[in-house]
Amino acid sequence: MSYFSDAWNWLIASQNWHGSNGIPIRLAQHLEYTGLALIIALVIAIPAGLAMGHLRRGGFAVVTIANFGRALPTLGLLVLIFVLTSGSILSWLIPLVALAIPPMLVNTYEGVLGVDRELTDAARGMGMTEWQILRKAEIPVALPLILLGVRTSAIQVVATATIAAYIGLGGLGRYIIDGLARDEYNVVAGGAVVIILLALAVQGLFTLLRRVIVPAGLRGQAQNS
Amino acid sequence: MPHKKFTAVGLAAVACVAVAACSSGGSGKSSSSSGSNPLAPSASNSVVVGSANFPEDELLAQIYADALTSAGVKVTTKFNIGAREVYYPEVVKGAISIIPEYNGALLTTSVDKTSTATSTADVDAALKAKLPSTAEILNSSAAQDKDSITVTQANATKYHLTSIADLSSVAKDWVIGGPSEFQTRADGIVGLKKVYGLTFKSFSPLDESGPITLAALTSGKVQAADVFTTTPQIITDKLVSLSDPKNMFAAQNVLPLVYKKAASAKVVSTLNSVSAKLTTAGLLAMDKSLSVDHQSYTTVASNWLSQNGLK
């Protein structure tokens, strides 16, 4: 139980909020890694999911990619790529992107696929082009699920970006790795608390985003992850 | 009726497998004297050679076992026991007669955590003074598997580096890498400053002489790194381990830790002969044969013993 009070004391100590190993800097680095991985995953997964969902093809590929991505040993991949590329940025970028793609891809695909066929038929009947159907009919209806996919990816990547610290980089993982190496368990616990709070903040951000982006009439769907 | 026949055949098959399993149990590396109390001391001309759960220690144990067998001692082996916390009490009790150890680590982990001895002589003396009465160490070999500050061959040649002291001209421009605790422990950054007066440009936390550290060193992400002296990549990547004349890193000589009652004159003289021939370079070459050339423990051990006239 004293780990909680140790973590608390570490969190409120002012020296841990300043300097190059302070919480603000580590947080900023952590968000950098998370942000870059998420953006790249978005660019890859969303268009692919939209296309496959709209054309109603590639379902098997989507499921396979999703399972493969979830089974990947992130830390193992990190070390492997680090050794192969002599420590390039790909070392942590590839594992995090690989982790982020499956939820986005699957949810986007399922979201578009699940749009009521009568709706798309009606849109086609009105003379809309395939592109217009996707933009005006399918995406708005699939939006809750797509957003859910992005949220799931974001939280997973925030939690896993700690691995960057294993190859000497920064981020909140620094507290976990250094704390463990030096038997400073208050630092480990404190660092873990910060990561948890960050994940909760991401969750809160997406809840807000949902309220803003998703049309009121569709908000009742896809409540659970 | 087919259903009944199937069941009968199935039961017979299971029975056969069970009998076979029971009778073949105990073969292979972890055999122990059958039937007797595993914690009782062995008879005087038969010993139990154990090893920790990492390849180098298992190799050394294989060498000890092989040498003893050639000398006519009856040997049973118990390899891959676990970490020191597990096997050390077993040696003190006598369940294990002999295990290859590293004097510095043995001293500060299990015998005297407060010891500040760093040279081979001091560490051995401290061990002899503080080991429990049932156990003893035999002669230490010249072979050491210790931390070292290691650089690439190119840098060693360019800046004429042979010892850690030679780094004074380049340290302020160099990044040094090592495990995260290198930054805070006494024989790390702190020791480099105190003992050799070196301050590096920055420190990069990597892993403990593992793939991350070695990749960072060879690719130039760090210019110096904390690498163990018997890491095979020293040979394959052409690295140079700088010497440590002021003993900032405590000595880690390979030596046998033995249970006194099992240490007959023959056992002691055989193991001392092995230790007399063991060198860091020899151990490094053997580790390379094991992990890079994928030779078996028995082959590597046997070759080394033959080459050194101990078999």
Look at the alpha carbons of B164, B170, B171, B177 in this order and tell me if their dihedral is positive or negative: negative
Q: What is the pLDDT of residue B9?
A: 59
Structural domain spans, chain B:
46-144+252-307, 147-241
Find, among A164, A17, A7, A152, the residue nearest to A77 by Cα: A164
pTM of the model: 0.74
Q: How many Cβ contacts (< 8 angstroms) between chains A and B?
A: 43
* Range B147-241 classified under CATH 3.40.50.300: no
Q: Is residue A224 part of a domain?
A: no
Q: Which residues contact B69 (CB under 8 A, 6 or more apart)?
A: B75
C-beta atoms of A181 and B179 within 8 A: yes
Q: What is the pLDDT of residue A136?
A: 86
Q: What is the pLDDT of residue B29?
A: 41
What is the percent of chain A where pLDDT is above 90? Answer: 63
Of B184, B215, B219, the CB nearest to A182: B184
Q: Do domains B46-144+252-307 and B147-241 have the same CATH topology?
A: yes
Mean pLDDT of chain A: 90
Mean pLDDT of A15-26: 90
DSSP string, A128-192: --HHHIIIIIIHHHHHHHHHHHHHHHHHHHHHHGGGGGGGT--STHHHHHHHHHTT-HHHHHHHH
C-beta atoms of B179 and A182 within 8 A: no
Of B177, B179, B215, the CB nearest to A83: B215
Q: What is the pLDDT of residue B187?
A: 87
A chain contacts of residue B180, beta-carbon cutoff 8 Å:
177-178, 180-182
**Which SS3 state, helix, strand or coil, does residue B208 take?**
coil
d(CA B109, CA B129): 15
Q: Is residue A223 part of a domain?
A: no
Of B180, B207, B212, the CB nearest to A178: B180
Domain housing A61: 2-218
Q: What is the pLDDT of residue B4?
A: 61
C-beta atoms of B212 and A79 within 8 A: yes
d(CA A197, CA A181): 23
Question: Residue type for A173, please?
Answer: G
CATH, domain B46-144+252-307, list 3.40.190.10, 3.40.630.30, 2.40.70.10, 3.40.50.2300: 3.40.190.10
Look at the alpha carbons of B251, B256, B258, B264 in this order and tell me if their dihedral is positive or negative: negative
Q: Is residue A225 part of a domain?
A: no
| B105-135 pLDDT tens trace | 999 889 988 888 999 999 999 999 999 999 9
Question: Which position has the token pair 């990749």?
Answer: B215
Q: What is the pLDDT of residue B11?
A: 64
From the CA of A83, how many Å to the nearest CA of chain B? 5
ipTM of the prediction: 0.72
Mean pLDDT of A125-146: 90
Those residues of chain B that have pLDDT short of 50 are 1, 21-35, 39-42
d(CA B104, CA B60): 17
CATH number at residue A76: 1.10.3720.10
- How many CB atoms within 10 Å of residue B253? 23
What would the two tokens of residue A150 be?
């992005």
Which helix (H) or strand (E) segment is B206 a member of?
Answer: strand B202-206
C-beta atoms of A178 and B205 within 8 A: yes
Q: What is the pLDDT of residue B33?
A: 45
| B254-301 pLDDT tens trace | 999 999 999 999 999 999 999 999 999 999 999 999 999 999 999 999
